[in-house]
Amino acid sequence: MSDLFAGDTRVAPAESKSSRSRGRAQEQRERKRRRRRSIWVLIVAILMVVGAGYVVVELMGGMFQGGTDGADSGVEDYTGVGHGSAEVVIEPGDTGADMAATLVSAGVVATEKAFNEAFAANPQAASIQPGTYNLLLELPASDAVVALLNPSSRVSFALTIPEGLTRDQIATKISEKMALPIEEVTAAIADPAAIGLPAEANGNVEGWLYPATYTIEPDASAASVLSQMTAQTVAVLTEKGVPQDQWATVLNKASMVEREARLPEDRPKVARAIENRLAKEMPLAVDSSVAYGLGKPGTGLSTADTQDASNPYNTYKHLGLPPTPIASPGAASIDAVLAPAEGDWLFWVTVNLDSGETLFATTYDDHQANVELLRAWQAENSK
């Protein structure tokens, strides 16, 4: 029995030592696992901090770097040279304050206050034209005013239609200036509703395309440009107090004045001669009308042309006004029709085709004498 108990006392210490070894190993493994978890937690935390910092910089970077919202960042006016680009539209009638709001919204200037002060300080600022401009972002307000005054900043362009052009000549100018196919322009002309042509025109645009300079935006269509022209004609007639039922008649007479009179002082006289002939029920005998119907220059008419009754615009053979205007008259010709000069003239002829000198007569014999002066000028200048 003593051996049995002695054997038991030898085994017990061995089991206790093994148990302690296993415990220490397990603790070491646990510590390693905890260290690994701590490292991963630290890595994740660092990544989260870095990510959050990136988001803050992206969202608020403009505040630190002078972003486009200058008012919100406390920047009253930018001081750099600008960067990038912004397309802004200055509308007709915009005031300096209107421009300021547009430029702040586009990120061009920092605050409306800065632009308004720069606008007031520049004596040329009031001449800023409506249109579309390509400007740098974050400009000092004074530089923004200068940029708006610089024609090279404008994306839009000017289209000038001189007085006295016909519908076809105007269509060609629009096609060339806007780089549009002529077919697109003529198609728009043939659609009265699309261009806002008044009912008084009876579907014919001739004479209703007002001669002026128009601002054309980059995305403008032929129809939109033609609409501006017809609207301007209506605006001019309305402003001058022409009754609506007289619009077509006034434009018809004014178109002949436009083509027949070269000098401003002659327009009211030609208008009076036309009225005198109409009152006497005489043929108007207007060469420019005959030529319009034939599609040729007025100076190239022959006797056969003036005797051709098949031409509806032959005012030698048909009494009264031609069927439509023969060109687009300007304000001076319209004014001449509305207020003709006082006189009893029935005839007129331009005796110097270079200077535009025109002579007026009340009798046919006097007129023939004036015609001889024209013939003499032509003979002398044909050499």
Encode pLDDT of 176-201 as tens digits: 988 899 999 999 999 999 999 999 99
d(CA 285, CA 38): 107
pLDDT at 158: 84
Please name the residues in contact with 127: beta carbons below 8 A apart, sequence gap of 6 or more: 149
pTM, rounded to two decimals: 0.68
Give pLDDT, residue 25: 56
Give the per-residue pLDDT at 44: 57
Cα atoms found within 13 Å of the Cα of residue 372, Cβ hemisphere only: 6
The owner of tokens 């919204």 is 105
End-to-end alpha-carbon separation of the chain, Å? 161
pLDDT at position 331 is 97
CB-CB contact of 114 with 77 (8 Å): yes
pLDDT in tens, 240-274: 999 999 999 999 999 999 999 999 999 999 999 99
List the structure tokens of 256: 């002949």
Per-residue pLDDT of the chain (383 residues), as tens digits, is 334 334 444 444 444 455 555 555 566 666 666 666 666 556 656 666 555 554 444 444 444 443 444 555 578 999 989 999 999 989 888 999 999 999 999 999 999 999 999 999 999 999 998 888 999 999 999 999 999 999 889 888 889 999 999 999 999 999 998 889 999 999 999 999 999 999 999 999 999 999 999 988 888 999 999 999 999 999 999 999 999 999 999 999 999 999 999 999 999 999 999 999 999 999 999 999 999 999 988 777 889 999 999 999 999 999 999 999 999 999 999 999 999 999 999 999 999 999 999 999 999 999 999 999 999 998 998 86
pLDDT of res. 33:
65
- Structural domains of the chain, ranges and CATH numbers in brackets: 76-153 (3.30.1490.480), 157-239 (no CATH), 245-251+261-381 (no CATH)
- 99 contacts: CB under 8 Å, gap ≥ 6: 90, 115, 119, 128, 148
User: What backbone torsions phi and psi does residue 267 show, to the nearest 5 degrees?
Assistant: -60, -50
Dist CA 3 CA 26 (whole Å): 36
143: CB partners within 8 A, 6+ apart = 82
Structure-derived torsion over alpha carbons of residues 302, 310, 274, 291, reported in degrees to the nearest 10: -40
> What is the pLDDT at residue 56?
42
Residues 92 and 111 sit within 8 Å (Cβ to Cβ): no
Q: How far apart are CA 23 and CA 17, in angstroms?
A: 10
